[in-house]
Amino acid sequence: MSDLPVLLPSAANLLNDAGRQRREGAFRVDLKLWHGVVLVAALAVVLGVAEAAGNAKESPWAVLVNWMPFILWGQEGHWQGFSLNIIISFFAMLIGTVVGAALGLMQVSLLLPVRTGSWIVTQFFRNSPWLVLLFTIMLMLPFEIQIGDTIIPIPDWVKAVIGFSLPVMANISEVVRGAVISLPSGQWESAESLAFTRFQTMWMIILPQCVKRMIPPWMNWYAILAMATPLCSIMGVEESVTFTQQAMSAEGGRPELLAPFYVFLLVIFFIYIYPIARWTVRLERKYSVKI
């Protein structure tokens, strides 16, 4: 703490955080164990309230337990429900990472058209609301394509994967770009003096150093993506929120079931995302670069 009238360390922290948020595109998902405890307690509370309020034809708890397998993994022999949420998030992250990394590297290219083009693409997909992107992809893509003689069906969840991978790709592109430009220019200069081509510099020197810096924000984006997958329920993709709504209407649309079913969803999402969020924080601390 300085005696002088200079801005205190929290100013620098705030600037770093803001810069990091702008580079990576979002706040860190910061879940703690007691959040989960509170959610489970909330579930118990709403079940109790529903019990009291309802017609007691069938206890809300029994109803919830009946529908749990359906909401979690759907019908026999299908990957639906919550398992589909996980599958969608996995594939969307995969595509988003690969394409996003390529886009990010294009953003630091020496060629102006490549740089500008990839910048436009990145900014466009970063600033569009996810819901609108999802709607567009799901309604515009055909449900099957014919290449030569074979017909390849494109199921709804694949369209959802593509729809989610677009904003993820744009944000990963920003992460990669941020990581690349955060390296000291000395690295580039020494590589040049050792006669590395640009490609060799990128592949052998810059990217290996960047990978560590990119992992925490990358995992953060996975957590955000996993939390965003319920958006595709609006298009009828057979994941957990769709199934919850169908279960509620099969139960006659009883309003007292609203709270228990939705809090249950919160609980299962928490159980999935909490370990990822904790691991992100641990990795960030482990890989924080001390100059």
Partner 1 sequence: MEAFYEWFQQLYDSTGWNFVFMYDEYERDRLLEAMWVTIKLSLSCLVFSLVVGVIGAWAQGAKSAILRNFIYWYIQAFRNTPPLVQILFFYFVIGNLFPTYDAGGYQEQYIGAFGWAVVSLSFFAGAFNVEIFRAGVEAVPTATVEAAQSLGYSRLKAYLYIVLPLAFRVSLPALNNNLVNLVKTTTLAYIIAVPEMMYTANQMWSDNVNVSEMMIVLFFFYVGLVAILVYFMHRWERSMRIPGYGA
Partner 2 sequence: MIKKLLTVVSTIALALTFGIQAASAGDNDRLMKVLNRGKIVIGVKADYKPWGFRDTSGKLVGMEIDMAQDVADALGVKLELVPVQSSNRMQFVQQGKIDMMIATMSDKADRRKVVGIIDPNYYTSGTNVLASKKAGLKKWEDLRGKPVCGKQGAFYNKPVSQRYGAKIVAFVGNAEAKQALKDGRCVAWVYDDSSIMADLASGDWDGYEMPMMTEDDTPWGLAVPLEERDKLFGRFMAGMIYEWHQSGRLMELEKKWGIQPTAYLKQMNERLKAYSPN
The contact set with partner 1 (CB under 8 A) reads 1-11, 13-15, 17-19, 21-22, 26-27, 30-32, 35, 124, 127-129, 131-132, 135-136, 139-140, 227, 230, 258-259, 262, 266, 269
Side-chain-side CA neighbours of 3 within 13 Å: the count stands at: 0
Among 16, 66, 116, 123, binds partner 2 (CB under 8 A): 66
Site for partner 2 in 178-237 (CB under 8 A): 234-236
Among 16, 249, 286, 287, binds partner 2 (CB under 8 A): 249
For residue 16, CA distances in Å to 19, 22, 24, 67 come to 5, 10, 12, 46
d(CA 117, CA 96): 18
- Which of the choices partner 2, partner 1, none does residue 143 contact, using the CB cut-off of 5 to 8 A by kind? partner 2
Show Cβ contacts of residue 166 under 8 Å, excluding neighbours closer than 6 positions.
96, 125, 133, 137
Which amino acid does the sequence have at 35? H
Q: With respect to partner 1, which residue has the nearer C-beta, 21 or 75?
A: 21
> Is residue 238 near partner 2 by the rule CB under 8 A?
yes
Among 15, 145, 181, 204, binds partner 2 (CB under 8 A): 145
> Is residue 247 near partner 2 by the rule CB under 8 A?
yes
Among 246, 268, 276, 278, binds partner 2 (CB under 8 A): 246
Cβ at position 31, least distance to partner 2 in Å: 27
d(CA 168, CA 130): 10
What tokens were used for 146? Answer: 């014919």
Among 142, 185, 285, 289, binds partner 2 (CB under 8 A): 142
Residue written as token pair 């919850």:
244
Q: Residue 150: how many CB atoms within 10 A of its CB?
A: 7
d(CA 17, CA 249): 44
Cβ at position 31, least distance to partner 1 in Å: 6
> Is residue 113 near partner 2 by the rule CB under 8 A?
no
Q: Please, which contacts does 146-153 make with residues 24 or more away whose CB atoms are closer than 8 Å?
A: none
Q: Dihedrals φ, ψ of 150, to 5°?
A: -95, 145
Q: With respect to partner 1, which residue has the nearer C-beta, 128 or 246?
A: 128
Q: Which residues bind to partner 2, rule: CB under 8 A? A: 55, 66-67, 69-70, 74-76, 80, 139, 142-148, 151, 234-236, 238, 243, 245-250, 252-255, 257-258
